[in-house]
Chain A
């Protein structure tokens, strides 16, 4: 399998869909196989030409200045990647993140910066390697290629970034990271578009595995970056207060903090986050957006009832948990509304519930939190049921095209304001599961056809589970 690295036309037959091709080879002749491949390639090339011009015209594909080398030249530079893919990612737990910030001194902040600085290229390298082992035809897809280029650039930047020694270095480093985070916010839509276009050409299992690894690694890198940025900013804010500086005043006088200065921060982690509170906030938000979208009078959206261990707390990154609950509530709400759409015109006064409520039950044990979201939405369509976890399936491919109208998506709960809830991308569920799995949890769904759906989110409670990221899927021979 030659790693894809050129923009040559896909004229030669190569192993696309390795698993499916192998299976097909036993039943069809080689000639039929190649004919099928060529047909797919022709269809794909025309599609590609269409999208290439569209993509070239869109503002998201401006070439970065200085990127003059051709990809053939880059082939030989791939050896640099080897150095990084040979290393395993150094995984952390939530507790370690919290503990780290307990006595945050300048030295520790600098150490954190260097950890992130050296860890990001390693994790990026593993994902770049995954790209390189995609079937050639998938790698030449302009959307996937764009993500690939983005990752290569980030990888180069981070590996060349000098070691951080002072607070000023750290601030420069954080600015650099923030710029990258912003630039990479288009990754999810691009990946979505890319895999939807490749749905015919690569086996669904392979695409799903690829997407799962990409996304989980992406979450992990952003978590490390955001955590460090949060720690740095909070440290700076405390330092300013300590020195009596105004918030916007620069640190030009001081290269480093006074000796012995320490603050207590935990960044984006929350040590005793109340589950019920997150659910309440998400519910409010989701009710709001659906009332807007369907033009319902306020307070008439399906009610979200929270019950169970409403005092339960746990250690988590609230943004992640919010996303999951958000997606599940959105699914429930949209399907309940759809099911009872007729009564939307004729429902009575706000106090008369036209919709069956959505019940969220919180269960807390010593080591886990389980949140059950139960609705009476009529259940999941049995045709869709086997594919609800898939990122790409013919039934969903149409929906993934919706990504064309969205340029940026960071998969955060708070960005749903920019995207209409009526637009469905078909990946809220699999993405929620990625977030849950990242810290060793899970999302499960049981459908009761004709009645409703029970979704279960299980998350570890104590923050002592390591990140669930993996190395590249195919090591070199």
Chain B
């Protein structure tokens, strides 16, 4: 049955491509406006890339350049790894869409994401093998642009699948989304790592010539403890302070809650507040914000329902184990009912289905990663609220480097969330992801 659908989706595209026979990697402006399946890509190229093996992201590769000032060779080495990996992964994403039922593929949101991936693939695979810094900078800028474009993939896909709920089996949808998110994490880890290294290299070059203050290239990077030097290995912050992270996310979510509901609970942080971990801040931040969003919202909702006079505070405890950090978030938001517990990690299931997404409030959160920014737009729900992606995605992120996310519900009282994040350190260099 699947192969028939495949033929149906491919036929018009292949036929059109034969008509146009267009190899150029640079698209003219007017073609980019189409949101239907692009017909001018050369199918054979993407299949050729997609058929290659993916080399798993290795932590050793990510940490290769720590503790040394970056040299030109390092950057070229990094670009060759990136250039080898990204197009293959992008191609595989593109192909994965081909296996969706035809009707799902024609949904405008899903089609849009498909085109974004195809475009990213098209732009990046066409670069010739890079041997000098100028070409590398070209690629890095292109990579940055594509990352920007692909930022809202998840909310768009979420919206699309919500609309296509009746056309796909839940298992099929879950598998597709899990693969998409996991591979997206990998893509971004590799991509962001290289972009960060590239900027870091150029910063170091600049300061070698001048003695001015280091500029902050990525706003959010500087706000998590330590200065720029010696602490960053690309996108990995080796002395990340979970306490500081929780404090900032907590404040942010509290503000959002206040704005949306007019009231917000307090929160406090205890435990091993001085412990540090080596991790990618944007991941940590995303997970934390998702979890805190849930806790804050539940607390306010439950206070209303049970006519509580004041909100019990949210308790955040940080613990440090061997090579990982544990975070326990406790709220008194009434817990998750027994019937709903199996569903909390399902995609497109949301306890917010009744509320729906609320009106937008324009707040830009300086110092937060762009992804979190997007997630937190439009009030505490954000474009993803009510679309049921927060928890399953947070769990995928947590698990990506070997961590875990568990929720214990005490119905009628509140929830305890146990987050465990494994430090990205040399001791786990052999770990493949």
Residues of A within 8 A of B (CB): 308-309, 361, 363-368, 370, 372, 379, 382, 444, 446, 448-451, 454, 456
Complex Cα spacing A446 to B272, Å = 17
Residues on the B chain within 8 Å of A363, using CB:
335, 410-414
Name, among A372, A379, A451, A454, the residue most crowded by chain B CB atoms within 10 Å (CB to CB).
A451
B156-164, B189-197, B320-328 - the one binding chain A: B320-328
The verdict on B408 contacting chain A, using a C-beta distance below 8 Å, is yes
Residues on the A chain within 8 Å of B322, using CB:
382, 449
Complex Cα spacing A370 to B415, Å = 11
Secondary structure at the B interface, as helix, strand, loop or mixed, is strand
Residues on the B chain within 8 Å of A451, using CB:
271-272, 317, 319, 326
Residues on the B chain within 8 Å of A367, using CB:
338
Cβ-defined partner of A450 (8 Å) among B272, B337, B406, B416 = B272
- For A448, give the chain B residue with the smallest CB separation: B319
Complex Cα spacing A280 to B203, Å = 63
The verdict on B418 contacting chain A, using a C-beta distance below 8 Å, is yes
Contacting pair B319 A308 (CB below 8 A): no
Q: A451-B271, A451-B326 are in contact. Are A446 and B418 (CB under 8 A)?
A: yes
- For B272, give the chain A residue with the smallest CB separation: A450
Complex Cα spacing A444 to B413, Å = 17
Contacting pair B416 A446 (CB below 8 A): yes
Name, among A368, A444, A450, A456, the residue most crowded by chain B CB atoms within 10 Å (CB to CB).
A450
Contacting pair A361 B321 (CB below 8 A): no
Residues on the B chain within 8 Å of A368, using CB:
338, 411
Contacting pair B271 A444 (CB below 8 A): no
Residues on the A chain within 8 Å of B328, using CB:
446, 448, 454
Q: Which of B289-322 contact A (CB under 8 A)?
A: 317, 319-322
Contacting pair B410 A454 (CB below 8 A): no
Name, among A308, A361, A365, A444, the residue most crowded by chain B CB atoms within 10 Å (CB to CB).
A365
Cβ-defined partner of A308 (8 Å) among B272, B337, B413, B418 = B413
Cβ-defined partner of B321 (8 Å) among A308, A382, A446 = A382
11 pairs across A/B with beta carbons < 8 Å? Answer: A309-B413, A363-B335, A363-B412, A365-B413, A366-B412, A379-B319, A446-B416, A446-B418, A448-B328, A451-B319, A456-B410
- Closest beta carbon of chain B to A225's beta carbon, Å: 32
Q: Which of B405-431 contact A (CB under 8 A)?
A: 406, 408, 410-414, 416, 418
Contacting pair A364 B412 (CB below 8 A): yes
Complex Cα spacing A368 to B412, Å = 9
- Closest beta carbon of chain A to B415's beta carbon, Å: 10
Complex Cα spacing A309 to B306, Å = 13
Complex Cα spacing A367 to B322, Å = 39
Q: A379-B319, A446-B406, A450-B272 are in contact. Are A309 and B412 (CB under 8 A)?
A: yes
Residues on the A chain within 8 Å of B317, using CB:
448, 451
Complex Cα spacing A450 to B273, Å = 12
- Closest beta carbon of chain A to B6's beta carbon, Å: 40
Q: A363-B335, A368-B338 are in contact. Are A450 and B413 (CB under 8 A)?
A: no
Residues on the B chain within 8 Å of A309, using CB:
412-413
Complex Cα spacing A308 to B410, Å = 11
Residues on the B chain within 8 Å of A308, using CB:
413
Residues on the A chain within 8 Å of B414, using CB:
363
Query: When A and B form their complex, which 9 residue pairs have the shortest distance between CB atoms, in order from nearest?
Result: A363-B413, A365-B412, A449-B321, A365-B411, A451-B319, A363-B410, A448-B319, A370-B410, A448-B326
Cβ-defined partner of A444 (8 Å) among B320, B338, B408 = B408
Residues on the B chain within 8 Å of A379, using CB:
319, 321
Contacting pair B326 A449 (CB below 8 A): yes
- Closest beta carbon of chain B to A108's beta carbon, Å: 35
- For A363, give the chain B residue with the smallest CB separation: B413
Residues on the A chain within 8 Å of B271, using CB:
451
Residues on the B chain within 8 Å of A454, using CB:
328, 408, 416
Complex Cα spacing A444 to B326, Å = 18
Contacting pair A450 B321 (CB below 8 A): yes
Residues on the B chain within 8 Å of A370, using CB:
410-411, 413
Name, among A309, A372, A382, A448, the residue most crowded by chain B CB atoms within 10 Å (CB to CB).
A448
Cβ-defined partner of B319 (8 Å) among A361, A364, A366, A450 = A450
- For A371, give the chain B residue with the smallest CB separation: B410
Complex Cα spacing A123 to B414, Å = 40
- For B337, give the chain A residue with the smallest CB separation: A365
Residues on the A chain within 8 Å of B272, using CB:
450-451
Residues on the A chain within 8 Å of B337, using CB:
365
Contacting pair A372 B321 (CB below 8 A): no
Residues on the A chain within 8 Å of B338, using CB:
367-368
Residues on the B chain within 8 Å of A450, using CB:
272, 319-321, 326
Complex Cα spacing A308 to B328, Å = 19
Complex Cα spacing A454 to B414, Å = 14
Complex Cα spacing A454 to B271, Å = 14
Complex Cα spacing A379 to B320, Å = 11
Residues on the A chain within 8 Å of B406, using CB:
446
Complex Cα spacing A7 to B352, Å = 66
Residues on the A chain within 8 Å of B319, using CB:
379, 448-451
- For A367, give the chain B residue with the smallest CB separation: B338
Complex Cα spacing A454 to B415, Å = 12
- For B271, give the chain A residue with the smallest CB separation: A451
- Closest beta carbon of chain B to A279's beta carbon, Å: 15
- Closest beta carbon of chain B to A417's beta carbon, Å: 32
Contacting pair B413 A361 (CB below 8 A): yes
- For A444, give the chain B residue with the smallest CB separation: B408
- For B270, give the chain A residue with the smallest CB separation: A451
Complex Cα spacing A372 to B412, Å = 13
Residues on the B chain within 8 Å of A364, using CB:
412-413
Complex Cα spacing A444 to B335, Å = 16
Residues on the B chain within 8 Å of A372, using CB:
410, 416
Complex Cα spacing A144 to B319, Å = 43
Complex Cα spacing A408 to B73, Å = 74
- Closest beta carbon of chain A to B407's beta carbon, Å: 10
Complex Cα spacing A444 to B341, Å = 15
Q: Which of B323-343 contact A (CB under 8 A)?
A: 326, 328, 335, 337-338
- Closest beta carbon of chain B to A437's beta carbon, Å: 16
Complex Cα spacing A454 to B337, Å = 20
Complex Cα spacing A308 to B413, Å = 8
Residues on the B chain within 8 Å of A365, using CB:
335, 337, 411-413
Residues on the A chain within 8 Å of B412, using CB:
309, 363-366
Complex Cα spacing A462 to B104, Å = 46
- Contact code string B10-24 (vs A, CB < 8 Å = 1, else 0): 000000000000000
Contacts beyond the supplied A365-B412, A372-B416, A451-B317: 9 A-B pairs with Cβ under 8 Å = A309-B413, A370-B410, A370-B411, A379-B319, A446-B408, A446-B416, A448-B321, A450-B319, A454-B328
